[in-house]
Amino acid sequence: MRLLPSAVHIAIGSILLGTVLIAPAAAQAVKIHVKAGDHDCTDALVSFAVPASLQGQSPLRLIELATSGEAAGKETSAKESPIPAQLDAASGQLWFVARGKLPAGQQRTFRLERGEPQKFASIAIVESDEAIQVRYQDAPLLQYNKAHVEPAAGINTKYGRSGHIHPVRTLNGAVVTDELPPDHLHQSGIFLSFTKTSFEDREVDFWNLAGGKGRVRFKSDHIGTSGPLFASFQTEQEHVDLTADNEKGEIGKTSGGKVALVETWNVLAWNPNASAGYWIFDVESSMRCATNSPLKLPEYHYGGMAIRAARPWVPKAVTFLTSEGADRLKGNHTRAKWCDIQGAVDGHEAGIALFTNPQNFRFPEPLRIHGTMPYMVFTPSFLGDWEITPGNIHRARYRFVVHDGKLSPETLEQLWQNYAQPLVAVAE
């Protein structure tokens, strides 16, 4: 395996803060403020549009300014704290985290200045021919599978797949996803596919692989950056119609069949909050038609962005909790903003939560939760027929929170609010 240099960019064009360029005659520093809105924020991601005056060749660092209890609102230099930050070079947005709790209506102040940034532990991308890994302090957190994963001997080879994420691990190493589970071999890790579809008047099922009508497969990748705040990569998947005449595709091959959709995943993994016991990653899916034919999606009860969670989480050993306070049975097909799955892995509590985004089609999409298996999927098709049409891009955004121990409903809701309404810093 090899560690990719941070100079390689994907679409977001991310680079490390330590390599931001500043003109020789630029301003030395700028003070910026972060204010919470009408809700409390916990470990909130913050963006800041870096001014032109702070662009050039010198490194930058971000400092949080402590407020004095005796003189509210006045910053004191004695308690200044360096903060890890990272720049998206394409947009000029600086990203950092307002660690801890920021109560509604309150403000925190930072200074962006010239100077060598303090070294922070990085979250890194490692690539091989078979997979892309996200690693933190040299421990794997996430693996995207580029190579076709073959089932064990004696299992129908149609169940093999690529273009999915597994394993996903907590900071303590607990694996909270599953691959090729015996009861439903087509559900592997984190994947996105549709079940009931029509493409050029043919019925194509991209979800149930054993039917041999369709599948999703890896096509290509582009590695982004590693850094003190986030690591990123981009992949491209094909949603393939295997029923098309004279274009049959062999299982596990990267060609063959007729491609109905081309999908891009932008994956950003954020530097863990080790003290809180969780880490976060985002997946943005962008789908476009591969031909002049639309993909029609009739009403159906499952299909979309899915998680097949840890194998030990049999019915009596797992709990589901939605943003509306529902469990696995009451929560099925409700319109929740988030859902958390948690249970014991090797004797220790762990979990993974899936958040949907307010910008998504049919937000909040109905949430399919299986009655006995540890899987869930956000399913826009449950609300009726729709389609993906040529010339238009269908985007869907999701966040995953991977945690050791239990997260309270209040913490999960605050983390979702951070996602739904990101904080924006402004210059003084």
Write out pLDDT tens, residues 271-299: 987 788 999 999 999 999 999 999 999 99
Query: CATH assignment of 2-120?
Result: 2.60.40.1180
For residue 265, give the nearest of 302, 211, 219 by alpha carbon.
219
Which pLDDT belongs to residue 22?
33
Kindly state the tokens that stand for 396: 């869907």
Which pLDDT belongs to residue 226?
92
Whether residue 24 is predicted with pLDDT greater than 90 in this model: the reply is no
**At the topology level of CATH, where does 123-421 sit?**
Beta-galactosidase; Chain A, domain 5 (2.70.98)
**Strands 131-136 and 230-241, bridge-based pairing:** unpaired
Which pLDDT belongs to residue 245?
66
For residue 356, give the nearest of 373, 326, 372, 380 by alpha carbon.
380
Whether residue 261 is predicted with pLDDT greater than 90 in this model: the reply is yes
Contacts from 13-16 at CB under 8 Å and sequence distance 24+?
Answer: 13/88, 13/89, 13/90, 13/91, 14/86, 14/87, 14/88, 14/89, 14/90, 14/224, 14/225, 14/227, 14/230, 14/232, 15/86, 15/87, 15/89, 15/225, 15/227, 16/86, 16/87, 16/225, 16/227, 16/228
The neighbour count for residue 299, using CB atoms within 10 Å, is 11
Residue owning tokens 């078979």: 130
What length does the chain have? 428
pLDDT-derived band at 256 (thresholds 50, 70, 90) equals confident
Whether residue 255 is predicted with pLDDT greater than 90 in this model: the reply is no
For residue 267, give the nearest of 224, 303, 302, 297 by alpha carbon.
224
pLDDT tens per residue, range 343-379: 999 999 999 999 999 999 999 999 999 999 999 999 9
Which pLDDT belongs to residue 350?
98
Q: Which amino acid is at 190?
A: I
pLDDT-derived band at 15 (thresholds 50, 70, 90) equals very low
pLDDT tens per residue, range 116-141: 888 888 999 999 999 999 999 989 99
Please state the pTM of the whole predicted model. 0.90
**Which residue ranges make up each domain of the chain?**
2-120, 123-421
**Mean pLDDT, the chain, as a whole number?**
88
pLDDT tens per residue, range 301-321: 999 999 999 999 999 999 999
> How big is the chain by its Cα radius of gyration, in Å?
22
